[in-house]
Amino acid sequence: MADNSAPAAGGLAIFTKRLFVKLGILPFLLVIAIIVFTLMSDNFLTPRNLMNVLRQSVYLMIVALGQMMALLTGGFDLSVGTILALSSVVGAMVMAAVFAAAPDMVWLAIMLGSLAGIAAGILIGVVNGAGVAFFNVSPFMMSLGMASVGFGIALYLTGGVPVYGMPQAFGDIFGFGSLFGIPAPVFVAAMLVAALFVFLYRTPQGRYFYAVGGNLKAASLSGINTRATLFFTYVLSAFFAAVAGMLLTARLDTGEANIGASMPLESIAACVIAGVSLRGGVGRLENVVLGALFIGLIQNGMNLARIESYLQTVVLGALLILAVIADQIRLRYVASLKD
């Protein structure tokens, strides 16, 4: 009787390799995570917990959308955590001041506070974009420097004390509100994802980001305004981080200068795990959304398994390193298939 196990194993290996080349490492990590955490906790795959994962992942998902834009153009945005904190502090302070002056104008306070918070975050992005696009400063150094500047401003404005006094309706609606059982921040994230999807894949300007990240000199020679594209990249990244900051402020019901410290690492990890190349020019929006959900799934599963927060940081860093190594292996496979 012939043994068919060897050909079957070989066929499975070839299929797995092709799947890895096409989709990257994320699907494999998702399957492994679901199996491991399901075995560790009976509550992991319940509808209530999965909805909780979705709600918790929204803030990272929104920030990762902006981080993806920076990575597509071959850069980084290490200031997203600071933008989150600064938008939270400024938005909460303006909202509390307007609400204290005009208690009956709740929606005016919410609108002005939200606009002020988002504008403060975008200002960091404008400085980042100007440094990278017009003064040729390294994105790494530019955003790292602005991260320190923004964090110092946030601490100076608050003295390290949380900002209170916002209208209760802000937290009730944008922090804890829901429609058809789906949390309000999820709807905001869905609208942002849809808008960015249309921009990236249905407009010529969206394709410029891939062109600039793929080959800056070739993009410039083809008539693309590379400076404007790079500038807009960091403004857009700051906008997404600022929106996430205001949503997180609604969830916490306070303006905090200390939130978002882990967001640069987590947002880069979500993008890299999703197959966004650190070299620029490669990455899909839908995969980044899935990558952010994966990070949220990992954090939720470790919380249910009662793994300490310090070890969770170790796991997240290890996943980032694994994703980078897997990306290198995948590129070699792609090169070998072309040969």
Parse the chain into domains and list their residue ranges.
41-338
Q: Does residue 3 have a pLDDT over 90?
A: no
Q: Does residue 36 have a pLDDT over 70?
A: yes
**Position 236, amino acid:** L
Query: Is the CB of residue 60 less than 8 Å from the CB of residue 321?
Result: no
Domain 41-338 has CATH 3.30.200: no
The pLDDT of residue 15 is 74
Query: Is the CB of residue 105 less than 8 Å from the CB of residue 284?
Result: no
Instruction: Please give the average per-residue pLDDT across 26-51, as a whole number.
Output: 90
Task: Give the chain's mean pLDDT.
Answer: 91
Query: Is the CB of residue 87 less than 8 Å from the CB of residue 120?
Result: yes
Write the DSSP assignment of 115-177 as a string of letters.
HHHHHHHHHHHHHHHHHHHHS---HHHHHHHHHHHHHHHHHHHHTTPPB----HHHIIIIIS-
pLDDT one-digit tens code per residue, 41-100: 888 989 999 999 999 999 999 999 999 999 999 999 999 999 999 999 999 999 999 999
The pLDDT of residue 311 is 87
Q: Does residue 180 have a pLDDT over 70?
A: yes
Place of tokens 């490492």: 25
What is the three-class DSSP state of 259?
Answer: coil
CA distance 236 to 119: 12
The pLDDT of residue 10 is 65
Query: Is the CB of residue 245 less than 8 Å from the CB of residue 83?
Result: yes
The pLDDT of residue 182 is 87
What is the three-class DSSP state of 77?
Answer: coil
CA distance 95 to 109: 5
Instruction: Please give the average per-residue pLDDT across 271-286, as a whole number.
Output: 90
pLDDT one-digit tens code per residue, 300-339: 999 998 888 888 889 888 988 888 888 788 878 777 766 5
**In 24-135, which residue ranges form alpha helices assigned H by DSSP?**
26-40, 47-72, 80-101, 106-134
Query: Is the CB of residue 255 less than 8 Å from the CB of residue 163?
Result: yes
CA distance 98 to 104: 10
Q: Does residue 2 have a pLDDT over 60?
A: no
Q: Does residue 1 have a pLDDT over 60?
A: no
Instruction: Please give the average per-residue pLDDT across 16-36, as a whole number.
Output: 82
**How many other C-beta atoms lie within 10 A of the C-beta of residue 331?**
14
Query: Is the CB of residue 66 less than 8 Å from the CB of residue 240?
Result: yes
Q: What percent of the chain has pLDDT over 70?
A: 96
User: What are the E-state strand segments in the chain?
Assistant: 178-179, 182-183
Q: How confident is the model at residue 6 (pLDDT cuts 50, 70, 90)?
A: low
